Structure 1
């Protein structure tokens, strides 16, 4: 790409990343972790870009977190050599892929059940290398994670007894007051915890207050999004990825139609309905993207004094940027409104 191409000259819809904002966000989080003696292991599910993962490690991250083996394979191919899979892996196919990764790079995996333990153990035995295991516990999300200290202690004992595995500690999401109690109970049972890995960008600035947590798994902080702005974890100036779109129709005075729908913005709303719409129109904050079809964004302008014109380009802050990243093959990276490159989203679509 020519370094003189302005982002305003790009075809829409298109996700545009401001590299200056990204670099500030990365430096700020690494600085926080360093100041409080916490290891930082960023989750790459937000950006899915090897270049950004490499930048995070270069700044001081101890490694990266991936949700799926496909993401980890992409990152290992790009030279990332310390990877945690923060997701239960089940079955022989997963074991074979994990073993192949473990032969190349340092691997850890989270488990919360005996079948996941068996899968990771099989991978370690096949690889001929120990794979680190974090036992996941539930801190209130009611998603994956054991629900009791006794369950965790049972799994820990099984990990320690299994060939091919090394017990490395605990993992949870999100970090909360319940995390403190659970960690204390495990330690009171005489278990040494080299790693206690906590997650969640919304409360990342309070990670040092969660007793026992040694490691931060945060992802969204690299871009930030409307949800994080709503909860006070970021400002608009901290948001690095905006979707640029065009007004393709003005069928009524109080309505505009954009050239982006659910295939561009996702269908995620702000949790608990704090703010309406499928993204924030940055330059028209009182307008509401109130409906989406696959390729259309319908905007209610009834409460907006200023209204975008037919053919006007607008900028949208996504509600949930991680999903938006995964909807696009490429992102445009820019500085000061000038295109610096178009990067393929290398780990997008890796659902296995």
Structure 2
């Protein structure tokens, strides 16, 4: 088989671009003394996680227990879950993971700490990172006093270990908070062994923004329209493209492709929905302006040259992570040479 013979829609991953992206990030981390702990939420494929480790990553990051279970099944044994876990069922699953992998979990509240402590009662110590919020408005302790109080509680809890701090995304504000926070923790005898920062768009500026010791990045392995727009990557650094086919041309300025929201997800660019849901390298003026579940409506009014009925197109998605999660498998390629299909083993693991 070759790429042109694959049925569409199909996500295609160029392994040569993947390799270049991985080496670029690993080289940056090595040059600045950062431990790289890649987030597998972007690719969800154990073979790619193993390659990240082979190139020098210290371990992996997962967002949910289900992802971590898939990775542990594949033999990966140093895992951070960068998400608060709450409740007895989560504690039981975390305990099972801790029997076969070195586990760390981030928390921002006492109930999440209690969940980790319940898991640790089964006999395996679990590391804990306290997440602090630097303005993202998502998870994270929102005050320095709150971080210190939670770190004290971790130290006083049997079976868990205070492993440090976590923040997403790392930013100049992260650095400001750490300048005030670190002396407070040192005075308490709670100097953090790890300061973990995350986020691909500003990854190569991490060393300038905050004194982090570990970098969690996911999107960098594939890149996407958002990372290109943020200046992190070039179009030629985008390893995953969606191959689609023009199935209808109802008007001269409109093409219908065989992929909609079940393939592209619904992420929009920072400029808003008017920018469309993907980038067409061969037709830069085209805009995927509207989708139903199985149809993509492409506005061609800004294209001097227009795609023909039956033509195969390649599209760089706005945000690649949910695209991975929508696909049971991806096609691996090297340039135009098809290498085979690979299951996206951790897709759909939302628990």
- Write the deviation string for residues 139-168 of structure 1: whole angstroms up to 9, x where unpaired: 111000000000000100000000110000
Q: CA–CA distance in 1 between the matches of 2:232 and 2:256?
A: 31
**What's the counterpart of residue 247 of structure 2?**
248
> Structure 1 residue 145 and structure 2 residue 144: aligned?
no
Q: 1:170 aligns with which of 161, 165, 177?
A: 165
Q: 1:210: Cα distance to partner?
A: 2.4
Q: 1:184: Cα distance to partner?
A: 2.1
**What's the counterpart of residue 318 of structure 2?**
319
Q: CA–CA distance in 2 between the matches of 1:262 and 1:235?
A: 25
- Write the deviation string for residues 313-340 of structure 1: whole angstroms up to 9, x where unpaired: 0000000000000000000000121111
How many residue pairs match? The answer is 347
> Structure 1 residue 63 and structure 2 residue 94: aligned?
no
After superposition, residues 34-183 of structure 1 pair within 5 angstroms as 34-126=30-122, 128-183=123-178
- Contact kept? 1:140, 1:174, Cα under 8 Å: no
**What's the counterpart of residue 183 of structure 2?**
188
- Write the deviation string for residues 43-80 of structure 1: whole angstroms up to 9, x where unpaired: 00000000000000111100000000000000001010
- Contact kept? 1:138, 1:144, Cα under 8 Å: yes
DSSP 3-state at the match of 1:271: coil
**What's the counterpart of residue 284 of structure 2?**
285
DSSP 3-state at the match of 2:308: coil
- Write the deviation string for residues 252-305 of structure 1: whole angstroms up to 9, x where unpaired: 111000000000111111124297101011110101111000000001111110
> Structure 1 residue 208 and structure 2 residue 207: aligned?
yes
Q: 1:231: Cα distance to partner?
A: 1.2
Q: CA–CA distance in 2 between the matches of 1:275 and 1:291?
A: 10
Over aligned residue pairs, what C-alpha RMSD do you find? 0.9
TM-score normalised over the length of structure 2 = 0.98
Q: CA–CA distance in 2 between the matches of 1:321 and 1:172?
A: 22
- Write the deviation string for residues 55-109 of structure 1: whole angstroms up to 9, x where unpaired: 0011110000000000000000101010000000000000000000001110000
* Unmatched segments (≥5 aa) in structure 2: none
- Contact kept? 1:230, 1:274, Cα under 8 Å: no
- Write the deviation string for residues 6-50 of structure 1: whole angstroms up to 9, x where unpaired: 111100000000000000000110010001000000000000000
- Contact kept? 2:273, 2:289, Cα under 8 Å: no
- Contact kept? 2:167, 2:197, Cα under 8 Å: yes
DSSP 3-state at the match of 1:163: coil
- Contact kept? 2:66, 2:346, Cα under 8 Å: yes
- Write the deviation string for residues 200-259 of structure 1: whole angstroms up to 9, x where unpaired: 000000011123200000000000000011111100010000000000000011100000
Q: CA–CA distance in 2 between the matches of 1:197 and 1:33?
A: 13
Q: CA–CA distance in 1 between the matches of 2:310 and 2:141?
A: 53
Q: CA–CA distance in 2 between the matches of 1:38 and 1:15?
A: 32
User: Structure 1 stretches (4+) deviating beyond 4 angstroms?
Assistant: none
Q: CA–CA distance in 1 between the matches of 2:154 and 2:271?
A: 39
Q: 1:9 aligns with which of 5, 16, 20?
A: 5
Q: CA–CA distance in 2 between the matches of 1:351 and 1:293?
A: 23
Q: CA–CA distance in 2 between the matches of 1:114 and 1:272?
A: 38
